[in-house]
Each structure stands twice: as C-alpha cells, then as structure tokens.
Amino acid sequence: MKSFSFLRLSVWFYLAIFFAYLLGPLVIMSVTAFNSPEFPRASPWECLTFEWFSALFQDERILNGIWNSILVGAGTVVLSVAMGLAGALMLTQIWPKLRATYYTIIIAPILIPGVVLGISTLVFWDRINRMLGLGADSFLSNGLFLTIIGQSTFIASYCMLVLVARLQRYDIALTEAALDLGATHAQAFRKVLLPFMKPAIASAAVLAFLASFENYNTTTFTFGEYPTLTIELAQKVRYGITPAISALAFIIVVLTVFAALANEANIRRKELVAAARKDATVEELESGRLRLPNFFSSNWAAVALVVVACLTIATVGTATVYSPQQCIADIREQKRLETEARIQELRQRRAEEAARRAAEEAEKGDAATGGTSTAPATGGNNSGFGNVFDPNALGGGSSDAEETDDQSSAPSSGGGSSAFGGAFDPNALSGGGSDGN
C-alpha cells in the first residue's frame, strides 16, 4: 500500500500545482489592487489603500466602456440566442444528407480565429455599404452594429450547442399534441417548446453575454466609435499599467465568485429538497408537514456564499472609514530617509574619494618636488601612505604599484617588492623547502 499512498500524494501535489497556476495570478492581481505603489505589485507590501478603486470609478473611459459593453452584450444575447435556437431547431429537421454539411458550417465559427471573423465582418459590411451607395456614417458601418454582428457569428454557435443538448431530450409528440388540440404553430412554440427550453435558453444567454463581454479579437476590428470595456482595458494595459486595473479585476473576481457560489448553492439546495421529498413518507407529503432541509445544512456553497458576502460588506465598510494617509505619509517619510541615507552615503563616498585624490595629487606634487631634492623623503612618504591601505593589502599593493610606476623611484619600488614580494618570491618557498629538506 506504500506505492498507493505515494500515488495519492503525488496526485494531490499535482492538483496543488495546477490550481496554483490557475488561481495564483488572480489572487496576486487582487492583492495588488490594495497596495499603494503606482506600479501594480504585491511585494514589497507598502500600504493598504482603497484609492485605486476611487481612481477606477472616476475613469470616464472605463465607465463609458462598461456602458458600451452592456449595449453590445444585450444586442449579442438577443441575436445569438435567436439564431442559435433557430439553428438548433433546424438541425433536428434538416434533410439527413445535408445534415453533416450544415453542422460543419454552423460549428465552424467556433474554430475560425476571432481576428479572421472581425476582418471578414468589416470587409463584407463595408462592401454592402458601398453597394447600397451609403456614406461612411451609415447604419451599416456603425461600430455597435458591426460588433454585435461580428460577435454573434460565433457566439450563436455556442448557444446552438447548449440548446441542442436540451432539445435532444424534447419529445416532439408534445408539439404535435398541441397542434392536434387546435393550437397554432406560434402558440405551440410559445406555450410548449419555449417553457421546456427555458433553462437552456437562460444558460445560453448568460454564456453569450459573458462571451461578448470578454471578446477582444473580433471587437478590435469592428468597434469603430464604440470601444467596449475590453478594448479600453487592452489599450490601458498596453500603454502603461496601474493598480486601478487590478481594482477592476478584483471587482470582477468577486462578482464571479459570488455568482458561481449562488448558482452552486441553488443547485445543491434543489438536490437536498429532492432527496428529502424522496425519503419522505406519503402522509408527510399529504399533510404538508414535510420538513425541508435548512438552507445552510450540508450546503457548503451557501455557507461560502454568506462568508463572501460578509467579507465584501466588511471590506466596503472598512474602505469608507479607513484612511491610508498616515501610512502613506509614513512610507514616504521612510523612503525619504532611505534616500537621504543613500545620498549621505554617496556623498561620504565621494568625499572620501575626493580626499584620496587630493592626497594623491598632493603626493604627486610632493614627489615632483621631493624627487629632485631628497630620495629618502619620497620613500618615507610612500611607506606612510601604504599604511593606510594596510588592512586590504591587495588594494594597497596595486596603488603602491601605480605609485611606483609614476614615481619610478628605485628605493620605494624596492621597498614595495620587499613588503609584498617576500611572500610571492619563488625563492622563499624553494628556500623554505630546501630548508625543510
């Protein structure tokens, strides 16, 4: 069983790495939204701040982008759900020989690169526009129209896939029964088929809106005068990033987590209710005294949902009363001190250097004057200078060597070689060796 537990351990290790890759970036991005530096970074941590959120809400372009995205999303949802439903219904009825071709055509937009879809939409409607003799500001070259059309081309395929899955479980006899009972085709559609398809239509609509909201590749060619949120974000990210974008991302992450948990809690709740009903006796059901399970009992998603909601409220509450000014001032002060210390250090180093250079200069002057007058004086000066560098012998050695080159005075050179050369003298070692022998 040892190998089994090893396998288990490695599975968990793999899962941990995988989810770290998947969720880590989002967590780090969220953290940067609360850190005060101008450039989004998680470390080093400076100050907890909420100013990036207010910067975000004051950004006209972002707000305008959100509005445009909602407009485009609404149009895309309507158009692509309608086309997806029609396409799915057609798939169930189409002549069998045409079926494979038809399926390939309506599934193709998923595989066509978004860039190609955007270009083809732009080129095609531009041509239609010219054929009809309309100007450059006509409805057909409107960015909103083109974006909706371009996005719907492939989003309708997603919707079609979702709807077909549900439509396969539909009993066509239901529609026939309605028609036999005297309903018109429109009535049969509205009162029988549509209610049956409702859950699938809802999920197709959500999917379509999300796909439209985050689309970039197609929209970037068609948006015209109506930049969506994604386009604005891309432009911001490409030309300099700020933590305000992290703040937006954090909001989207929280909304997403919230929606996902709400959905999960709802599903779980339904399952629990169904299980309770199944276990209940007939009397309990008839008397209506069936005790349905509590909303929170064995429903981790509901608990998590409430926790997330509380955390959000707490965060917003903190944000309204919290002021990071003190901390930012502290950090600024600290940075100023650091910079000052660094400047001080630099200044000191410079001063030292200047002093040394001055000493050298002075020495040179000395050497120039002293060289002619008395040789022993130079040697004494040299040894005195060398003492300063005594701890780091090598530096002293090199400066000594330079010095000797400059001065080319025989006594000091001889002194240098005696001071250092002693250790490196090959004779010393061999002599010692021979001594030993």
Partner 1 sequence: MPSFLKEFFKRNGVGMGSVMLGLVLFWTIGLIILPQLSMLDFSFRPNLPPPEIGGPKDVYTLENYKYLINGPEGGSQDYNAVDLRVFFRTLVAAVCVTVFNLILCYPIAYYLAQTKGNHIRIFALMLIIPYWINEILRAFALRIIFGETGVLNNLLVGMGLFDTPFDFIRNDIALYAGLGYAYILLMIFPIYNVIESLDRNQIEAARDMGASWPMIHRRVVIPYAKPGISSGCTMVFMLSAGALAAPQILGGPSSLWFTQLIYQQFNDNSDWPQGAAYAVVLLVTCILLVLAIMRLFKVNMGDIGK
Site for partner 1 in 190-229 (CB under 8 A): 210, 213-217, 220-221, 229
* 420 makes contact with partner 1 (CB under 8 A): no
* 323 makes contact with partner 1 (CB under 8 A): no
Of the pair 238, 291, the CB lying nearest partner 1 is at: 238
Assigned token pair, 26: 């989002």
In 3D, which of 102, 106, 105, 144 has the Cα closest to residue 125? 144
The region, left, alpha or beta by phi > 0 then psi within -120 to 50, assigned to residue 199 is alpha
Find the length of the chain. Answer: 437
Nearest distance from residue 94's CB to partner 1, in Å? 9
Helix (H) / strand (E) containing 60: helix 60-93
Query: d(Cα 386, Cα 383) in Å, to the nearest integer?
Result: 5
* 241 makes contact with partner 1 (CB under 8 A): yes
In the window 148-177, what residues touch partner 1 (CB under 8 A)? 149, 152-153, 156, 161
Among 20, 74, 194, 259, contact with partner 1 (rule: CB under 8 A): 259
Nearest distance from residue 193's CB to partner 1, in Å? 10
Nearest distance from residue 246's CB to partner 1, in Å? 8
The DSSP call for residue 322 is -
Task: Assess contact for 280 and 288: CB atoms under 8 A.
Answer: no
Nearest distance from residue 327's CB to partner 1, in Å? 21
Nearest distance from residue 388's CB to partner 1, in Å? 32
Task: Assess contact for 189 and 154: CB atoms under 8 A.
Answer: no
What is the amino acid identity at position 422? G
Assigned token pair, 306: 């409430």
Assigned token pair, 412: 């000091």
* 14 makes contact with partner 1 (CB under 8 A): yes
Of the pair 53, 221, the CB lying nearest partner 1 is at: 221
Q: Taking every pair of C-alpha atoms in the chain, what is the biggest distance, in angstroms? A: 133
Which range in 15-23, 197-205, 368-376, 393-401 contacts partner 1 by CB under 8 A?
A: 15-23
Compose the 265-304 pattern: x for residues touching partner 1 by CB under 8 A, - for all others: -----------------------------------x----
Which range in 45-53, 109-117, 340-348, 366-374 contacts partner 1 by CB under 8 A?
A: 109-117
Query: d(Cα 42, Cα 33) in Å, to the nearest integer?
Result: 9
Nearest distance from residue 119's CB to partner 1, in Å? 5
Query: d(Cα 384, Cα 399) in Å, to the nearest integer?
Result: 13
Nearest distance from residue 207's CB to partner 1, in Å? 10
* 107 makes contact with partner 1 (CB under 8 A): yes
Query: d(Cα 201, Cα 86) in Å, to the nearest integer?
Result: 12
SS3 for 215? Answer: coil
Among 40, 73, 227, 379, contact with partner 1 (rule: CB under 8 A): 40
Among 6, 8, 11, 295, contact with partner 1 (rule: CB under 8 A): 11
Helix intervals (H) in 138-228: 143-167, 172-180, 185-188, 194-213, 219-222
Compose the 130-149 pattern: x for residues touching partner 1 by CB under 8 A, - for all others: x------------------x
Burial of 294 (0-12, 13-18, 19+ CB in 10 A): exposed
Size of the site for partner 1 (CB under 8 A): 89
Among 23, 177, 202, 311, contact with partner 1 (rule: CB under 8 A): 23
In the window 46-105, what residues touch partner 1 (CB under 8 A)? 82-83, 86-87, 89-90, 93, 95, 100, 102-105
Nearest distance from residue 90's CB to partner 1, in Å? 5
Task: Assess contact for 305 and 262: CB atoms under 8 A.
Answer: yes
Among 9, 20, 115, 313, contact with partner 1 (rule: CB under 8 A): 115
Which range in 45-53, 258-266, 386-394, 396-404 contacts partner 1 by CB under 8 A?
A: 258-266
- Strands annotated E in 290-362: none
Nearest distance from residue 306's CB to partner 1, in Å? 16
Among 58, 256, 398, 418, contact with partner 1 (rule: CB under 8 A): 256
Q: What are the backbone dihedrals phi and psi of residue 323, each rounded to the nearest 5 degrees, phi first?
A: -125, 120
Assigned token pair, 311: 């955390």
Query: d(Cα 37, Cα 39) in Å, to the nearest integer?
Result: 5
Helix intervals (H) in 374-392: 375-388
Nearest distance from residue 271's CB to partner 1, in Å? 11
Beta-carbon contacts of residue 207 (< 8 Å; ≥ 6 apart): 155, 158, 159, 162
* 245 makes contact with partner 1 (CB under 8 A): yes
